[in-house]
Chain A
């Protein structure tokens, strides 16, 4: 009996596919539209598959994928690689409002619009901790920054978002660490 042509890699299509819905949600919230999110996630999958042997511990696949996606997003912003005209976050806001319960639609629309006005850094840290449920340490690993940076960014992001949503003055948030 011939031996298998190749030992199974630690990361395969199926393992990655299990993370794709979460990655796409994160990417859409980050990019503000689904078209850019799909491009980002597709690039992320490709990169992950090309480097699949770099990941030893498959239990860390989720964080590893987020990290790849984050780096792709940042380098994409730097290179201003953009497909066509910018898509307004309003489209995503309307879209998401439609999948919310009717009583929540207005609130969801306003939230998505306000969220879209935050800086990339602020969006990222809010999404990783608030939506993806990462601990400070895990978020720090994805972003490759110290934990203290995660905490101070999170504090500023929350206050900025509060000012955008509630109006009024932004409190000067004391520097943390």
Chain B
């Protein structure tokens, strides 16, 4: 395998890794690159290693933008090293959550997305989606304005009012059937709500409105009490999937919605 030229040190695996990591002395580079050109198997293996590094950043990189728990934000409590005093922690946590509550405004609703930035528009959107969810999922006689039996009419009507082509994705694979939808209004103008229900009568809602912001298809997660929501922006529409479900189940449904809209 080794094709080192006479009078030169053979290229070792250590050289190749150093080359990949930018730690190879400059004068050795030509030899290493010639060795790779002469040994396609080795070159392929190191391409895979390079791809690993890209994936490492892609997979774990976004963790850096996650909002930090109170325990990891300053001022760091000066606690006696020998024992952790829970009561002190409790007080600190209480004080911190009180601050967060005040910062979150009168609704107490606080959205911190993955970037840690709190955007007023996003917070308002998710608060509207959750409020609409709460209002209409408990409705027995009039949960929707237009029922699923007139789905084509419903979708056509809501698309026209939102000014964007809309679809009612099928969530049958998760056991949810379309109940219907309604037109709503919020501070930004018209919004649409689609409601789905499973055999046990559990309801989830999709809340949609036109958005001039750039697409951002990474899912954001928000929680208010037992109500969870995933939301994203895509193709000029902002979407929120809201339900009284655990996060993992709801994320599966959100992925289904996203997939159906992009299929």
Contact = CB atoms under 8 A, between A and B. Distances in A.
Main secondary structure of the interface of A (DSSP, over half): helix
Contacts of A91: 248
A92 B142 CA distance: 40
B126 to A, nearest CB: 16
A49 B219 contact: no
A76 interface: no
Contact of A161 (B52, B57, B64, B230): B52
Interface string B56-77: 1111111111101101111110
A45 interface: yes
Interface size class of B (residues with CB under 8 A): 35 or more
Given A17-B74, A155-B17, A131 B57 contact: yes
Contacts of A130: 52-53, 56-57
B41 to A, nearest CB: 9
A135 B21 CA distance: 8
A14 interface: yes
Interface residues of A, number: 55
A176 interface: yes
A22 to B, nearest CB: 6
Nearest to B71: A42
Interface in A91-145: 91, 94, 96, 98-102, 104-105, 107-108, 111-112, 115, 126-127, 129-131, 135-136
Contacts of A28: 60, 63
Interface string B221-263: 1000000001000000000000000001001000100100010
B221 A98 contact: yes
Given A21-B64, A171-B45, 7 more contacts: A21-B65, A49-B78, A98-B218, A99-B114, A105-B255, A129-B21, A165-B48
